[in-house]
Amino acid sequence: MKQYKIAVAGTGYVGLVAGVCFAEKGHQVICVDVDERKVETMKQGICPIYEQDLEELMQKNYKEGRLDYTTDYKNAYKDADAIFIGVGTPEQPDGSANLSYIATVSRQIAESIEKDCLVVVKSTVPIGTNDKVEQFIKDFLVNDVKVEVASNPEFLAQGTAVKDTLQAKRIIIGTESKEAEKKLMEIYEPFKLPIVSVNRRSAEMIKYASNDFLALKISYMNDIANLCELVGANIQDVAKGMSYDPRIGANFLNAGIGYGGSCFPKDTKALKYLAKQHGYKLKTVEAAVDVNAEQKVKLFKKASERMITFNGVKIAILGLTFKPGTDDLREAPSIDNVELLLKNNANNIYAYDPVGEDNFKKRYPTEINYVSTPEEALKDANICFIFTEWNEIKAIKPEMYKKLMKTPLVYDGRNIYDVKEMKDEGIEYYSIGR
Ligand code: NAD
C-alpha cells in the first residue's frame, strides 16, 4: 500500500470520520479545524461528537502517530499529497447551499500549498461547484504548483458513521484526469471497497440524487401513512408487505414525524433550487419537501385539537435528536414541536434525551426542564410526545405511562408501540398511519 500524506479540512461528522478512517487504513493524516476548542479537545483524545467507535479509533491512531489535529492550516496544507474538504454547506434562507466555508478553505489552500496537490471535495455541493473550486484555487495560487480538484461525496449516516466509512457500500470518485483518478484510487485501495469512477458533475449529482431519493421514500411512506389513517389501514403492515418486494427493499419504509438532520432537509431544498435556476421544476423532490414540512408538526396539530390549552399542562418529551445514535439536533422535528408548544403558552415542559440534552440546552437554556430519566419526565405528566426512538425510550413498558402519568395521553411520532396494547393499558394513544 502506498502511504499518502492527507490533510482534512473540517472535523465535523464527515471530516473527522474520514480523517480517522484514512489514518486507520495506514495514511498519514492531519485534521484541520478553525475551532480551537474542538482541536484542543481532540488532542486530548476526546471526540467532539457522539459517534459510535470514533473516540477509540481517534485515540489509537493518534497514539500510533498517524493522526493529528491542528488549527494551523498553512502547515497542514503546504506539503499534503491530498487535501479533503469536509466543511459544512448549510442551507440559506432561499434553499440554496451556502458555499462560503468551501470558498474560505479553497482560498486557504491556494495560499498554502507548496507542492503539487489533489484537492478532494467531500462536502455535498451543488453540481458544478468542483469546477469553480478548481478555478478559484488556481486564480489565487501563491506558489507555482499543479493543483487538481476531484469530487468524492460522502454517504455515511450519523450514528453509524465509522462503520459506513470502513465498510462503505461504494466509493464515488469524480475526476477529470487519469492522474487524479489514479491517486484517489490509490488512497482508497486499502479500504478494499467497490469504487465507481465518473466525471465530477456526475459524482456531485450522485450525492444529491441519492439523498433526495431517500427523502422522497420517507415522504412517500408518510403520505401513504396519512391516507392509511383516513381509510383504516395500518402503515406498519403495509410497509411490511411492501418490503418483501426486492424492487422496493426493506429500508426507509418507516412512517413517522418526518426526516430531519443536517442532510435531507438541505439537500432536497438545494436540488430544488438548482433545478429552478435552470428553469426546471423538480416536482418529485418538491413534493417530498412539502410532505415533510407538514409531517413534522402533525402530532402537535392533533394534540392542539384535543387540548384547550398547553398552559400549565405538564408535557413530557421523550427524545430530542433527529434520530437515535447521534447528538445532532439540526432540523430535528423536536425543535419545530417545542417551538410551537412554547408559542402556544406551554410552560411546563420536561424533556429527556440520552445524549441530546447539552445541544438542546444551547437553544433552550431556560424554557425547558431537562431530566436524566424518562420516568422523571413522565411523572405526573398530562401529555407525552415521543420524537426519537432511542432504545432507552423503546424500553419503557406501556404500563409505565399509565402508572406514572397523571393523564395517560401519548403522541408517538415513531410508532414504537402496538396500538392495541396501549389501548388495553387504558392509554389514549396516537401514532402515525395506524
Ligand atoms: P459539520 O458542521 O459537523 O462540520 C464542519 C466543520 O468544519 C466544523 O467543525 C467547522 O468548524 C469546520 N470548518 C469551517 N470552516 C473551516 C475552515 N476554513 N477550515 C477548517 N475547518 C473549518 O458538518 P458535517 O455534518 O460534517 O457536514 C460536512 C459536509 O458533508 C456537508 O456538506 C454535508 O452536507 C456533507 N455530509 C454530511 C453528512 C452527515 O451525516 N453529517 C453525510 C454526508 C455528507
Question: DSSP of 217-276, one letter per residue?
Answer: HHHHHHHHHHHHHHHT--HHHHHHHHHT-TTT-STT---SS---SSSHHHHHHHHHHHHH
- Determine which residue's CA is closest to atom 22 belonging to ligand 1: 10
Structure confidence at residue 114 as a pLDDT band (50, 70, 90): very high
Interval between CA 258 and ligand 1 midpoint (Å): 23
pLDDT given at position 84: 98
Residue range 80-100: mean pLDDT, rounded? 97
Interval between CA 89 and ligand 1 midpoint (Å): 7
pLDDT given at position 103: 98
Interval between CA 38 and ligand 1 midpoint (Å): 13
Whether the CB of 398 sits within 6 Å of ligand 1:
no
Question: For a pocket test of ligand 1, which of 154, 204, 212, 267 has the largest count of ligand atoms closer than 8 A to its C-beta?
Answer: 154
pLDDT tens per residue, range 180-220: 999 999 999 999 999 999 999 999 999 999 999 999 999 99
Closest approach atom of ligand 1 to CA 158: 40
Interval between CA 102 and ligand 1 midpoint (Å): 10
Whether the CB of 264 sits within 6 Å of ligand 1:
no
Closest approach atom of ligand 1 to CA 35: 11
For residue 97, the SS3 value is strand
Whether the CB of 265 sits within 6 Å of ligand 1:
no
The answer to whether 263 is a known catalytic residue is: yes
Interval between CA 334 and ligand 1 midpoint (Å): 22
Structure confidence at residue 120 as a pLDDT band (50, 70, 90): very high
For residue 195, the SS3 value is strand
Using CA atoms, how far residue 395 sits from 81, 147, 291, 414, in Å, is 49, 53, 30, 13
Interval between CA 214 and ligand 1 midpoint (Å): 21
For residue 90, the SS3 value is coil
Sorted by sequence, the CB contacts under 8 Å of residue 85 that are 6+ apart come out as: 9, 10, 15, 102, 105, 106, 119, 120, 121, 122, 123, 133
Whether the CB of 156 sits within 6 Å of ligand 1:
yes
Closest approach atom of ligand 1 to CA 267: 34
Closest approach atom of ligand 1 to CA 101: 15
Whether the CB of 271 sits within 6 Å of ligand 1:
no
pLDDT tens per residue, range 18-52: 999 999 999 999 999 999 999 999 999 999 999 99
CB 64 within 8 A of CB 29: no
Whether the CB of 151 sits within 6 Å of ligand 1:
no
Interval between CA 124 and ligand 1 midpoint (Å): 9
Question: For a pocket test of ligand 1, which of 84, 87, 172, 267 has the largest count of ligand atoms closer than 8 A to its C-beta?
Answer: 87
Q: What is the dihedral of CA 290, 128, 30, 42, to 10 degrees?
A: -20
Place of cell 412554547: 342
SS3 of 16-72: HHHHHHHHHCCCEEEEECCCHHHHHHHHCCCCCCCCCCHHHHHHHHHHCCCEEEECC
CB 323 within 8 A of CB 355: no
- Determine which residue's CA is closest to atom 4 belonging to ligand 1: 12
Q: What's the alpha-carbon Rg for the chain, to the nearest Å?
A: 23
pLDDT given at position 412: 98
